[in-house]
Amino acid sequence: MNENVANERLTAYFNAVLNAGRHLDESHATMPPNDLRGYQLLHECLSNILAVKMEAYPPF
């Protein structure tokens, strides 16, 4: 049973990272070049994805 829970958690993190990456890619594609706050937020989100800190960004 513990193995199933661990697998579900791993799958959830994997899907969260993929969904967040897709969302950030879409946002970046339409972001104006002079949107400093937007790029700061993009950097913060990408850093959190690398650290797998997805809890702060629902529904990811």
Number of Cβ within 10 Å of residue 39's Cβ equals 14
Q: Quick check: is 32 in a domain?
A: yes
Answer whether residue 57 is part of any domain: no
Position 51 scores a pLDDT of 80
- pLDDT at res. 31: 93
pLDDT tens for 2-15 read 777 777 877 887 88
On the question of pLDDT at 56 being above 60, the answer is no
DSSP H or E stretch at residue 40: helix 36-50
- The number of domains in the chain is 1
pLDDT of residue 60: 46
User: pLDDT tens, 40-50?
Assistant: 999 998 888 88
Q: Which domain holds residue 31?
A: 2-50
Whether 25 maps to a domain, the answer reads yes
Greatest CA separation found in the chain? 51
For the chain, the average pLDDT equals 82
Contacts of 52 (CB under 8 A, 6+ apart): 13, 17
Q: Running DSSP on this structure, what letter comes out for residue 57?
A: S
